[in-house]
């Protein structure tokens, strides 16, 4: 999932696109949320920005 955000650094990536490109589209839509939490734990809380109702972007 990190690699998808890194490819789109500075741009918002929505949940559906993120799941599809990370190969987890067949899992729960909330799986993205838990993976984002893991990325933030490893890289720091400010590493991934949440854009309400749109998705996430890597800072």
Contacts of 19 (CB under 8 A, 6+ apart): 25, 27, 29, 31, 32
CB-based contact 9:55 (threshold 8 Å): no
Q: Is 34 helix (H, G, I), strand (E, B) or coil?
A: helix
Q: According to the model, what pLDDT value does residue 34 have?
A: 93
Boundaries of every domain in the chain: 2-58
Burial group, residue 17, by CB count within 10 angstroms (0-12, 13-18, 19+): middle
Which residue from 46, 19, 20 is spatially nearest to 34, judged by alpha carbons?
A: 19
Q: According to the model, what pLDDT value does residue 29 have?
A: 82
**Distance of alpha carbon 32 from alpha carbon 17, whole angstroms:** 10
Taking domain 2-58, whether its CATH number is 1.10.10.10 is answered by yes
Residue range 28-58, pLDDT digits in tens: 888 999 999 999 999 999 999 999 999 999 9
- Tell me the pLDDT band of 21, cut-offs 50, 70 and 90: very high
Q: According to the model, what pLDDT value does residue 47 have?
A: 95
Q: According to the model, what pLDDT value does residue 54 have?
A: 96
């Amino acid at each position: 999932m990190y690699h998808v955000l890194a490819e789109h650094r500075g741009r918002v990536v929505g949940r559906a696109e993120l799941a599809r490109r990370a190969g987890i589209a067949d899992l729960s839509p909330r799986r993205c949320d838990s993976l984002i939490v893991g990325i933030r734990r490893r890289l720091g809380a400010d590493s991934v920005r949440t854009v309400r109702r749109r998705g996430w972007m890597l800072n």
